[in-house]
Amino acid sequence: AIRMTQSPSSLSASTGDRVTITCRASQGISSYLAWYQQKPGKAPKLLIYAASTLQSGVPSRFSGSGSGTDFTLTISCLQSEDFATYYCQQYYSYPHTFGQGTKLEIK
């Protein structure tokens, strides 16, 4: 199985900050990567697919990049509603593994 490793596991930031979360795959996955946001007690929400394509309705302050094994999710100007846990997921091959998550907290 492909292992997905996110860093950092947790991150403290302030409203207005620019933050970057990294996701590394244990083998190449081309651009078959999605990013999800999850708030406590809620279902995950798709933010980005194909590594860099913004899902409809997602604010443009979210962006994704990368291909192969290294990927990033960037939030350009943090808003209060962005404090949540973020997961990457590869869908290059089965099983479709997730990263362990990055919890973004208010500083």
Q: By the criterion CB under 8 A, which residues form the site for other proteins?
A: 1, 32, 34, 36, 38, 42-46, 49-50, 55, 87, 89, 91, 94-101
- CA angle, residues 86, 88, 89, in degrees to nearest 5: 140
Nearer to other proteins, 30 or 79 (CB): 30
CB of 15 to other proteins, least distance (A): 26
Q: Considering the complex, state which of residue 20 and residue 38 has its C-beta at the smaller distance from other proteins.
A: 38
User: Smallest distance, Å, CB 92 to other proteins?
Assistant: 9
- Closest distance between other proteins and the C-beta of residue 14, in Å? 25
Is the Cβ of residue 17 or residue 98 nearer to other proteins in the bound state? 98
